Every structure is written in C-alpha cells, then in structure tokens.
Amino acid sequence: MEKFHIVGPNRLAGTVRASGAKNAALPALAASLLTDDPVNLSRVPAVRDIRTMVRLLEHLGVASEWREEGLRLWRGGPIRSAAEAPYELVKTMRASVLVLGPLLARFGSARVSLPGGCAIGVRPIDQHLAGLEALGAEVKLEHGYVDLSAPRLRGARFAFSTATVTGTENLLMAASLAQGTTVLENCAREPEIADLAALLVAMGAKIDGAGTPTVTIEGVAQLHGVDEHQIIADRIEGGTYLIGAAISGGDVLLVDTEPADLAPLLEKLAEIGARVEVEGRQIRVAHQGPLAPRNVITAPHPGFPTDLQAQYMALMTQAEGSATICETVFENRFQHVPELNRMGASIRVEGTFARVQGASALSGTTVMATDLRASACLVLAGLVARGETVVDRIYHLDRGYERMELKLQKLGARVRRSNAAADSNPSV
Ligand code: EPU
C-alpha cells in the first residue's frame, strides 16, 4: 500500500496552482451522456475518482481520450442505459449516482447500484429519487439496485427537503431534456453546480438561477457537444494548500483560482491572524507567530465547507487556546481525530462537536488515512510534526488530490511517496 513519508517540521513557501475541481469534473463527465457529440473538457484533474467515472462511462458506452488539452468524451457506440452501474464501481465512488439523471432523461431508463453507507456517513439518495419521480420517473428499489424508467420526463416544480449537491446536479441534467419547464427549490448553491450549469448551457440547455436556491430549467429536445469547457479551480485543494501555509508559518501564493469560492476559509484565516491578500485570481496566505483559535461550524455553501473541516482541525491543533468545530453536514466525519491525538493533539469529540485544545507539539508517527479529506488533514499535521510522519492508505488522498507530494515538494516540503505505481491498489 502506498504511503507518504513526511519529515517535519516544514515551512511551505512558493506558488501553487490547484487542479480543476474534482466535484465539478465528475458531473461534467456524466453530462457527456446527454449528447451524441463530443464533449471536450479542460482542467480535468488526473485523480482516481475521475478515472473511476471514466471507467463507469466506458461501461455504459461512452468513449474517451486524454489529450494534452484535457479529456474528450464521445458516444463510442450504442449507449447501454440498461447496463447497470455496478456495485463494484458505485461502492468506490458515490458520485456514480450522477449518471442517473442523464441516462433517464436521454434513454428513458437507468439502473444504478444503491451506494449504501460510506466512511463519512450514511448519505442517502432519497432526494435524487424524489426529484426524478416528480419529473415522472417510476422508481423501483430491488436487490440493492435502483431502477428508473420514464418514456419522457416532464417538467415540474420540486422542492428538495435537504439541499444536496449531487442531487441538484442530477436534477439539472435530467430537467434539461424534460418536456416543459422545471422549477427546483432549495437547491444546493456550491460553485460546482454553477459550473455544471455553464457546461449544460454551452450544450444548448436553458437554465436560469444555478448557484441560487431556485433554479428554472426549460427543457429542450436535444443537446449538442462543446469544443471546450474549462472546469473551475478546485477550491478544496487550493484551500488545503492555503491552510498548509498558515499551519507551517509559511507563505503560499495560490494562482488561477476563484477567491470568492474560498471566502469562508479566507475569513477564518484572517481571524486567526494569518495575512490574507487577494488580488484578481490570486490568493496569498502568509503567517508567522502564534495563531488564534476560532470556532467553525460547517454548512452548505456559502458556509464553511465540510470538505475543509478536517484540514482546519489540523490547523487548530497549532492555535493557542481552545476551538470548537461543529460538523453539521455529515454525521461521521471526525475519523481523523484519533489519528491526530496519536500525533500529540488534544481533541475531544462530543457528538457533532470536536473540541481542540492547542497549541500541541505534534510528533511524527504512522497514521492511517480513512477518507479523502482526513488524509489531507494528516498530511498537514505531518508538515508541522517533529520527525517522520508516515501516512498510510494514501489511495484515499489520490481520489481527489492530483500528485499532492509533487506540489508540496515544490513548496519546499520534505515529503515522498513509497511503493510507487500510482494505481497499484485496487481497494479504494
Ligand atoms: N442527503 C440526504 N438525501 C439525499 C442527498 C443528501 O439526506 O438524497 C444528505 C446527506 O446525507 C448529507 C447532506 O444531505 O448529510 C448533504 O449531502 P450532499 O448530497 O450535498 O453531498 P453529495 O452530493 O453526496 C458532495 C460532494 C462531497 C461534499 C458534499 C457536501 C461530490 C461528488 N461530492 O457530496 O465531496 O462533501 O457534496 O458539500 O460533489 C469530497 O470531495 O471529499 C466529498 C465528500
């Protein structure tokens, strides 16, 4: 199994560019099912979840090719909408459910394995299904699979009872090819949703209000391909490096990014005493001296992202005093806590709250990554810990961070990967 070896303490300094956002690229890839024409995507991150989505699309009949400028997807033959999205793929990546909306809208049926639980919580898809049902789909749940069918979807008004990112994306894709107008209420507002909408509009869809709670979609008969759609910068990856600057007493310039998407993190970094400078599409975070503790409550966008909660917790282990972190989006997203405590942190979990008492002198040891963002948290802790930190099961990290060790090395960190061959571990 691949591991990271980090010898600390390190100070991050220099310039870094985030890859394209994994969570924007995943629905963009699924959207290629909505047309027969080629869809060309640039700034697609070369991460494991994207490779899994490519495999799933290939299984359904979509051909793809990596080119210098990005990923090209096109219909490689008959689309096998009745071919199920198998459990083997869905269990490794919940985002596989993103094929439901496009398959149903375009081919009248879809069959996807139910994702079940995952490391960070139960994560049901009831809202995806209720929304598609509102558009006229018949939903059957049998033998661990969800079967959807509808000869032609019809526009409708639907209000999500929970704001869901991939649920909103599934409905945007489905409603784009439905007959008539769909009004979706209580939609998630993450920037990745607006990026998907921009791609769909470039494909000929009529969408208004994406990125706000109410989205109106006027269905069209067909969609066409796009010559180029550039995926937005990954705000979570970029945010991870900015936290890396603050935790290590460093100075990092994040370039070619959308600062507004990172506003909740930048506000916190400024509050804890880091220097934050925003200019155009660049963000510089620098820090020296003690950090002030500040509480955080995760919330859907534009709140503090759950996907940065673990990394922020690593940061709070270095703040002088006590900070409380409340996780409201997922029920089981504190699995990094025991590992941080093994490195010398002092964190107590009570239900959805984690109380971090800092500043702790962390020391290197072997720790186990349990999910994608928990892995990033342990790497950040490893940057400041004295001695060698070995982060095991780094395949979790590879799901969403493109060659993190190379980017960290460029910023001056002493980090290396052991056990080569990036794709050698099949158990994601
Ligand atoms: N929920 C329901 N019913 C549903 C859908 C969601 O109850 O039908 C609940 C979930 O259980 C959760 C909350 O609603 O408590 C929000 O979940 P959401 O559906 O928004 O999450 P998601 O779409 O499954 C995406 C990202 C996650 C990110 C969350 C929240 C993708 C592919 N994944 O997941 O990314 O944490 O939104 O922002 O876009 C990650 O990248 O590490 C990651 C986990």
pLDDT mean by block of 10 residues, the chain; 428 residues: 95 98 98 97 96 93 94 88 74 90 94 76 87 97 90 96 97 98 98 98 98 98 98 98 98 98 98 98 96 98 98 98 97 94 98 96 95 96 98 94 97 92 41
pLDDT of residue 424: 43
d(CA 165, ligand 1 centre) in Å: 6
288 and 209 housed in the same domain: no
Among protein residues, the one whose CA lies closest to atom 33 of ligand 1: 23
Q: Are residues 48 and 138 in the same domain?
A: yes
Residues 44 and 185 in one domain: yes
Domain membership of residue 274 (yes or no) is yes
**Distance (Å) from CA 306 to ligand 1 centroid:** 9
Index of the ligand 1 atom closest to the CA of residue 301: 38
Assess whether the C-beta atom of 261 lies below 6 angstroms from ligand 1. Answer: no
Spacing, Cα 371 to ligand 1 middle (Å): 14
Residues 223 and 286 in one domain: no
Instruction: Judge if the beta carbon of residue 40 lies within 6 A of ligand 1.
Output: no
- For residue 239, being part of any structural domain is answered with yes
**47 phi and psi angles, rounded to 5 deg:** -120, 165
Q: Report if residue 426 sits inside a domain.
A: no
Residues 291, 374 within the same domain: yes
Kindly state whether residue 427 falls inside one of the protein's structural domains: no
Token digits of residue 106: 């375009």
Q: Does any ligand 1 atom lie closer than 6 A to the CB of residue 108?
A: no
- Is there a single domain that holds both residue 252 and residue 204? no
- Are the C-beta atoms of residues 308 and 373 closer than 8 Å to each other? yes
In a shared domain, residues 299 and 317: yes
Q: What is the pLDDT of residue 402?
A: 97
DSSP count for the chain of H helices, then E strands: 14, 23
**Full residue range of the structural domain in which residue 275 is found:** 3-19+233-418
Looking at the structure, tell me whether residues 273 and 219 fall in a common domain: no
The pTM is what?
Answer: 0.96
Give the domain CATH number at 47: 3.65.10.10
Boundary of a domain, candidates 175, 200, 230:
230
Atom of ligand 1 nearest to the CA of 329: 15
Same domain? For 71 and 12 the reply is no
Amino acid type, 206: K
Q: For the purposes of burial, counting CB atoms within 10 Å of the CB of 77, is it exposed (0-12), middle (13-18) or buried (19 or more)?
A: exposed
Which atom of ligand 1 is least distant from the CA of 120? 44
User: Please, which residues bridge with residue 275 across strands?
Assistant: 286
306 lines ligand 1 (CB under 6 A): yes
Domain assignment present for 423: no
In ligand 1, the atom with minimum distance to the C-alpha of 400 is 41
Q: Is the CB of 264 under 6 A from ligand 1?
A: no
Q: Which of 230, 257, 272 is the endpoint of a domain? A: 230
Residue 250 phi/psi, 5-degree rounding, is: -105, -160
Q: Is the C-beta atom of 167 inside 6 A of ligand 1? A: yes
Q: Domain tally for the chain?
A: 2
Contact 173, 125 (CB under 8 A): no
Which atom from ligand 1 is nearest to the alpha carbon of 130?
8
- Ligand 1 centre to CA of 124 (Å) is 9
Ligand 1 close to Cβ of residue 200 (< 6 A) = no
Is the domain of 240 the same as that of 225? no
Q: Is residue 406 part of a domain?
A: yes
Same-domain status, 96 and 188: yes
Active site residue ranges: 118
d(CA 400, CA 272) in angstroms, rounded, equals 27
In a domain, 337, yes or no: yes
Question: What spacing in Å lies between the alpha carbon of 174 and ligand 1's midpoint?
Answer: 18
Q: Is the CB of 128 under 6 A from ligand 1?
A: yes
Taking CA atoms only, the protein residue closest to ligand 1 atom 28 is 307
pLDDT at position 423 is: 43
Residue type for 117, please? G
Q: Of the candidates 189, 213, 230, which is a domain's last residue?
A: 230
Q: CB–CB of 347/341 below 8 Å?
A: yes
Half-sphere exposure for 426 (CA within 13 Å, toward CB): 2
* 27 CA to centre of ligand 1 in angstroms: 13
307 pocket-lining for ligand 1 (C-beta < 6 Å): yes
Name which residue sits closest to atom 19 of ligand 1, judged by CA: 164
Residue 116 is predicted with a pLDDT of 64
Co-location of 209 and 288 in the same domain: no
Question: Is position 428 within any domain?
Answer: no
